[in-house]
Amino acid sequence: MGALLLEELRAFTARLQCAEAGGDAGLGIDLLDAIEALKSVGCAVQAVITDNVATRTRADRKAAGLPRADWDRGIASQIALARRESPNRGGRHLGFAQALVHAMPHTLALLRLGRLNEWRATLLVRETACLSATDRGIVDRRLCSDPATLGGVGDRGLIARAKALAVELDAAAVVARHRTAVSERRVTTRPAPDSMAYLSVLMPVEQAVCLQATLGGDADSLIATGKSGGRTRNQLMVDLLFDRGTGRAAAGGVPVAVNLVLSDETLLAGGQEAAQLQGFGPVPAGIARQLVADAVGSGIEATLRRIYTCPQSGALTAMESRSRTFPKSLAALIDLRDRTCRTPWCDAPIRHHDHIRSHRESGATTADNGSGLCEACNYAKEAPGWAARPIHRPGRTHFIDLGTPTGHHYRSAAPPLPAAARESEVETLLITHLRAS
């Protein structure tokens, strides 16, 4: 039955891929509605299957006599790979599925009927996470047993109703959840378009409101007194935040090391290939040159390190090092080559430098057998049934073949680095001729 359903799904997917927009606008709206319902049904089925995969995997490991600590290891990562998402998202999908299947049957039923979408179901799961299974079931029954209860209710209204019921059922749990949230306050950054970045601060709401009001009030004062320098209120708030957070003026530069990787042609000959800023991604060539010029002109210590790539593939082959400690240099080379965790669809920062073929299997400590992984992916890879091997191709892109306990395989390719100065036409023809011979 399972294999037959899989073939039917693949056949239906192939048919849906060939669908084209046509007919009048009314038909188009009906199609949108039907496809949205299909997505919700798919979400419900995915949740049931996800919970079954986890349950069967745990049962198999328990029967095999593995220690309890290994029963759950790597399950979320397998789910993430199947859904082409990061391991962090895989863990969320797993928790979401378990909550629906074991504690929120009415929410799951609405998903199956196409009356609730995945995002709104996720909000319900999130807002009831602090409750016991019994209380969670009560919220589920009150809000989702009748489809009309949430009919026409927006996301904010749904969150408000779920929060109100949670407080009514277990106020102490809600307070405890708040204390936990406060303990998890943090500052993070992520890339934004146009070579910008988002700085996010997770903090108690009263602190956030106070901080924004202070920055806004001070920006208004600068504008009112004619000291804004032509900057807008938003620009002033950002500059004030930077000044107070670093103790320096924005134009003075940042006393923190960053890895900006760019080709010699881009740096010295006006080339237009984008540079790579580690942790953020591509930076236009003109901006990269300006960053280098600003760093040199500001008196901040700036260092230049050469790295060597294959002219054809852009694969990293070596790196100049001022240190004689090989492991440290090797780790730096892997960081520059991989940029982020090498698990497919995971773009978390590199935390561990891992042997692809493990050391206990005589895996060498080399660049070819090394990979950068986040902490979660490295631990998942150690679970029973996982296997990885490097695909060695001298001078070519670094590949890893990752095998999961279910027998599925995924390939990970290192991203290309900015290339060195291009070959002349004669060099290109000569290389082509030599390869052909």
Residue-wise burial string across 261-289, b where 16 or more C-beta atoms lie within 10 A, e elsewhere: bbbebbbeeebebbbbbebbbebebeebb
* Residue of higher predicted confidence among 300 and 149: 149
Compute the average pLDDT of residues 14-37: 86
Does residue 36 share a domain with residue 172?
A: yes
For range 55-77, the mean pLDDT: 93
Does residue 124 lie in a domain region?
yes
Whether the pLDDT of residue 192 is over 90: the answer is no
Separation between Cα atoms, residue 12 and residue 34, nearest integer Å: 14
Pick the most confident of 28-32, 135-139, 318-322.
Answer: 135-139
Please report the pLDDT score of residue 99 as a whole number.
96
Give the pLDDT confidence score for residue 315 in this predicted structure.
62
**Regarding predicted confidence, which is higher, 25 or 46?**
46
Contact criterion met (CB below 8 Å) for 300 and 255: yes
Provide the greatest CA pair distance for the chain. 79
127 in the same domain as 48: yes
18 within a domain of the structure (yes/no): no
Summarize pLDDT for 170-190 with one digit per residue, the tens: 988 888 888 888 899 999 888
pLDDT at 83 over 60: yes
In this predicted structure, which of 30-34, 108-112, 382-386, 391-395 has the lowest mean pLDDT?
391-395
Return the percentage of the chain with pLDDT > 90, whole number. 41
250 pLDDT band, cuts 50/70/90, is very low
Same domain, 332 and 367: yes
The DSSP string of 238-281 is: HHHHHHHHHSS-GGG---S---EE--HHHHHS---PPEEETTTE
- Within this chain, do residues 113 and 76 fall inside the same structural domain, yes or no? yes
**Residue for token pair 């760019």:** 262
91 is a domain residue = yes
What is the reported pLDDT for 103?
Answer: 95
Half-sphere exposure of 313 (CA within 13 A, CB side): 15
pTM reported for the whole predicted model: 0.72
Instruction: Look at strands 307-309 and 387-391 and give their pairing.
Output: unpaired
Q: Which amino acid, one-letter code, is at 261?
A: V
Tens of pLDDT, residue by residue over 115-131, are: 999 999 999 999 999 99
* Rounded-to-integer distance, Cα 20 and Cα 396, Å: 40
Residue where a domain terminates, one of 239, 270, 304: 304
Both 176 and 191 in one domain: the answer is: no
Q: Which amino acid is at 171?
A: A
Give helix 87-103 / helix 105-113 axis angle, nearest 10°: 110
Tally helices (H) and strands (E) across the chain: 16, 12
Domain count for the chain: 4
| Together in a domain, 147 and 70 | yes
pLDDT over threshold 90, residue 81: yes
pLDDT value at residue 177 = 85
Res 190: pLDDT: 84
Q: What is the pLDDT of residue 400?
A: 92
Between 277 and 34, residue with greater pLDDT:
34
Identify the residue with better confidence: 180 or 1: 180
Helix (H, G, I), strand (E, B) or coil at 229: coil
* Residue 209 C-beta-side C-alpha neighbours within 13 Å: 3
Let me know if residue 15 belongs to a domain. no
Q: Which of 55-59, 205-209, 321-325 has the highest mean pLDDT?
A: 55-59
Residue 178 shares a structural domain with residue 198: no
Q: Is residue 352 part of a domain?
A: yes
**What's residue 362's pLDDT?**
78
Instruction: Give the rounded percent of residues in the chain with a pLDDT score beyond 70.
Output: 82
- What does the block give as tokens for 65? 């006599």
Average pLDDT of the residues of the chain: 83
Q: Which domain holds residue 240?
A: 186-252
* Contact indicator for 324, 404 with CB cutoff of 8 Å: no
* Dihedral over Cα of 33, 34, 37, 39: its sign: negative
Q: Specify whether the CB–CB gap between 112 and 44 falls below 8 A.
A: yes
Same domain, 232 and 289: no
Q: Are residues 55 and 171 in the same domain?
A: yes
Residue 79 lies in a domain: yes
H or E segment to which residue 202 belongs: strand 196-202
- Residues 48 and 174 occupy one common structural domain: yes
CB 138 within 8 A of CB 110: no
What distance in Å separates the CA atoms of residue 147 and residue 150, rounded to the nearest whole number?
6
Half-sphere exposure of 327 (CA within 13 A, CB side): 6
Q: How far apart are CA 385 and CA 417, in angstroms?
A: 33
Average pLDDT over residues 188-203: 87
pLDDT at 436: 55
Residues 177 and 195 in one domain: no
Query: Would you state the pLDDT for residue 394?
Result: 65
98 and 148 housed in the same domain: yes
Mean pLDDT of 329-344: 85
Residue 104 predicted with pLDDT over 90: yes
In-domain check, residue 1: no
Q: Which residue has the tokens 């029963």?
A: 71
Distance CA 243, CA 248 (A): 5
Q: How confident is the model at residue 255 (pLDDT cuts 50, 70, 90)?
A: very low
Instruction: Encode pLDDT of 240-249 as tens digits.
Output: 998 888 876 5
Comparing CA positions, the residue from 300, 298, 349 lying closest to residue 189 is 349
Give tens-digit pLDDT for 149-170: 998 899 989 998 998 899 899 9
User: How far is residue 142's CA from residue 140's CA, in Å, rounded to a whole number?
Assistant: 6
Give the least confident one: 39-43, 254-258, 383-387: 254-258
- pLDDT, one tens digit per residue, over 346-392 is 888 888 888 888 877 878 888 888 899 998 999 898 888 899 998 87
- Choose between 72 and 295: higher pLDDT: 72
Assigned domain for 429 exists = no
